[in-house]
Structure 1
Amino acid sequence: MLTHIALDAMGADKAPEPEIRGAILACRTLPVRVHLVGPQEKLRPLLNEYLDGERLPIDIIHASEHIGMDEKAAHAVRTKRDSSMRVGLRLVREKKVAGFFTAGNTGAAMATAKMVLGALPGVDRPALAMVMPTTAGSPCVLLDVGANVDCKPHNLEQFAVMGELYARSVLKIARPRVGLLSIGEEEGKGNDLTTETFPLLKQLPINFIGNVEGRDIYNGHVDVIVCDGFVGNVALKTSEGLTRLVRDMLKQSLNTTVTAQVGALLSRKAFNAFKKRLDPSEYGGAPLLGVRGVCIIGHGSSNERAIYNGIRVTAEFAQAGINERIEKEFAQRPPAPPQLGDVGLPLQ
């Protein structure tokens, strides 16, 4: 049986070519049916051209508008009622598809998902969870990476529960180690948010190992790292910049120092393997945890490989039933106390 996935065909920086090519690649190799969401008159000729007569489980759902990367999320969500994001997420709400993937405006995707799908009971704010590579070869889940600029301690407590469930259910980590991102490992280190969050995480029925530092994102000593969206987004974007720097410097060094043909071939193979481990297109995007439906958000610079992996991760997330597990977990917990001025502000 094929898993139905709605794909925002107008999300990426170079849309819709990466989305169409990625959808074709996914439908050739995965048990999925992809519904491209966007303007029929623009998508149909390109899809027919790339298919070149090949029959694949791909169709087009018309949406007359799309939200650009430079648009203000709140305004765009209110005014563009037939955007590819809103139409795609409506398909999720109506259970016509198992999940939705977009490489578009992060703030708009989060705001639209909250409006169309709604938050799960007990979840005050959804969080974006990003899988990061580590030197140990195991993944590390970092959340929140941009859905909420300002958080309260009980928000981070909820992020910890959702991240731990995600690591167990999707990444198949039996007993995930959960850490709180701070400026030191000692319990008293950090700002008001981290020091007030620490005791909340300590009393949760999870494997909380205490405070962790920025270097722990990559060393494999922790499986889930919790932080507010401002800090998480800075960490994520810094990581992306550092990855490009290391990759480019290594490539330059190989080109200037390797002269023997055999040595060059071996070095190139090693470099390609290294590049693949750090390539964000291999990780498929960040799930928005805590909404009533599957919504995965990819990078704006996504190429066809990243779109393919986004579709793959969306299908895997839906099949794992993460939302149902989160809802069940929070149904067993007392509601968080109301907080004055508790308003989430998504990053653009």
Structure 2
Amino acid sequence: MAKTIPISLDVMGGDSGAEVVIPGAEIALVRHPDIRFQLFGNEKVVKPLLDKFPRVRDASTFQHCDIAIAMDTKPSQALRQGRWRSSMWRSIEAVKTGDAAVAVSAGNTGALMAMSKFCLRTMANIERPAIAAIWPTSRGESVVLDVGATIGADAQQLIDFAILGGAMARALFGIERPTIGLLNIGVEEVKGLEEVRTAGRLLRETPLRSIDYAGFVEGDDLGKGTVDVVVTEGFAGNIALKTAEGTAKQIGGYLRSAMSRTFMSRIGYLFAKNAFDLLKAKMDPRKVNGGVFLGLNGIVIKSHGGTDAEGYAAAIDLAYDMVRNELTHKIAQDLVHYHRGRFGETATTSTGDL
């Protein structure tokens, strides 16, 4: 393992671009002094900020890019216009060439996934990549995937997601055999879509060294933390993610309104402030910011586009942990073991395509 962790940043990505990325990099660098950044962006915007954050400047190399991918750009248009010259593409390309171990961007999710797939390609035996999110639970944290990359996954893709998510849980949580659940409308084996039932049957029947298949889980199991990894397809996963984010904001709004409604409620808030501060910290979405693109020949982290510097730093922290704990190596090992166990020694080891 190298003494430093090289991370490439799409400095122009997100709602606020460099105004959030550079301060976020500063926060992450304080926590992880062994990070070295490769920054890609517009020099007229980035260099004045680097003068304000000399710690980041001294730990970075910078490359000017003419194009910044807008948040509303269609993925196909981003590929046509942004290849080779955009900050997003260049940050991903740094992973492909080995100059960076992981790329982080707060930019357009569709464009980032399209460019990542085109540039890095999928791993051996993986048909479609997934986006994995860290989900706060009453037991701690879980991994949930897919939250938006693949709509309508078939049974084999759901199995692939289980293996990918299991490797991420091993890397992130240090669990030797994480428990895996398939998101369904009930825990009974006869319920749900045919592809989900088929995936469940195959997971039960296949010897799995690195994961422990626990069966079907329901929506309320997400918050309970019933399993370490929850597997679903991207449509349902994205809706669940956005619903959870919206509910957290809704509850926060209710609490603020209730605590300021009357003089006595404000007095009560002062006495209970420590408890409310703990609740606020637990519900803070910035602490779990960052979706991991899994199934590619390299690691890409998607930060929330509207986050602040602290949230962006959390995405960099996640990138750091994924590299330090050898996520890609763990995925490759798990895939080889699964395919040998199910299909025999002749399972392909070549790099997948789009």
Secondary structure, counterpart of 2:160 in structure 1 = helix
1:145 corresponding residue in structure 2? 147
How far did 1:232 drift? 0.3
Q: Distance in 1 between matches of 2:227 and 2:336?
A: 27
**Counterpart Cα distance in 2 of 1:27 and 1:329:** 32
Q: Deviations 1:12-59 (Å, cap 9, x if unpaired)?
A: 1111201011112222331212222111122111222x3279864133
Residue in 2 aligned with 1:111?
Answer: 114
Residue equivalent to 1:167: 169
> Does the 8 Å CA contact 1:27/1:34 hold for their aligned counterparts?
no
Structure 1 position 92, deviation (Å): 0.8
Q: Secondary structure at the match of 2:224?
A: coil
Contact 2:146 2:237 in 1 (8 A): yes
The alignment yields a C-alpha RMSD, in angstroms, of: 2.3
CA contact (8 A) 1:27 1:58 kept: no
Counterpart position of 2:89? 86
The letter of the residue matching 2:47 is R
1:63-84 Cα shifts (integer Å, max 9, x gaps): 2112111111122112212111
| Residues 88 and 100 in structure 1, CA contact (< 8 A), matched pair in contact too | yes
Deviations 1:207-256 (A, max 9, x none): 11111100000012111110000110000011110010011111211222
Unpaired segments of 5 or more residues in structure 2? Answer: 348-352
CA offset digits 1:304-329 (Å, max 9, x no partner): 00111111110110111111121122
- Report matched runs for 1:54-69 at 5 Å: 56-69=58-71
SS in 2 for 1:69: coil
Aligned runs of 1:155-194 on 2, under 5 Å? Answer: 155-194=157-196
Separation in 1, partners of 2:107, 2:141:
24
> What is the alpha-carbon distance in structure 2 between the residues aligned to residue 326 and residue 258 of structure 1?
56
Counterpart residue number, 1:46: 49
**Alignment counterpart, residue 234 of structure 1, candidates 223, 235, 239:** 239
Q: How many residues align?
A: 338
Mapped to 2, the partners of 1:54 and 1:188 lie a distance apart of 55
Which of 320, 326, 329 aligns to 1:315? It is 320
Q: Contact 2:22–2:56 (CA<8 Å) still a contact in 1?
A: no
* Alignment deviations for residues 178-235 of structure 1 (CA, whole Å, 9 cap, x no partner): 1110101101111222122221222241311111100000012111110000110000
Cα distance in 2 between the residues matched to 1:89 and 1:302 = 21
Distance 1:268 1:78 in 2: 52
Of 220, 227, 241, which residue of structure 2 is paired with 1:222?
A: 227
Question: Matches of 1:209 and 1:79 in 2, distance apart?
Answer: 45
Structure 2 vs 1, CA of residues 216 and 282 (structure 1 numbering), >3 Å: closer, same or farther?
same
Give the share of equivalent positions with the same residue, in percent. 34
Deviating more after overlay: 150-159 vs 71-80: 71-80
Q: Does 1:294 align with 2:299?
A: yes
How many angstroms does 1:11 deviate by? 1.1
Partner of 2:124: 121
| Contiguous gaps of at least 5 residues in structure 1 | 338-342
Specify the code of the residue in structure 1 equivalent to 2:162.
Answer: A
Letter paired with 2:148:
G
TM-score norm. by structure 1 comes to 0.91
Letter in 2 for 1:127: A
Shift in CA distance, 52/95, structure 1 to aligned 2, threshold 3 Å: closer
Shift of 1:257: 5.1
Residues of 1 paired with 2:167 and 2:55: CA distance?
A: 43
Question: Distance between the aligned counterparts of 2:292 and 2:117, measured in 1?
Answer: 13
**Alpha-carbon distance in 2 for matches of 1:322, 1:194:** 26
| CA deviation vs aligned residue, 1:151-195 (integer Å, no higher than 9, x gap) | 111000000011111112211223322111010110111122212
Specify the SS of the correspondent of 1:148: coil
1:269 aligns with 2:259: no
Aligned residue number for residue 248 of structure 2: 243
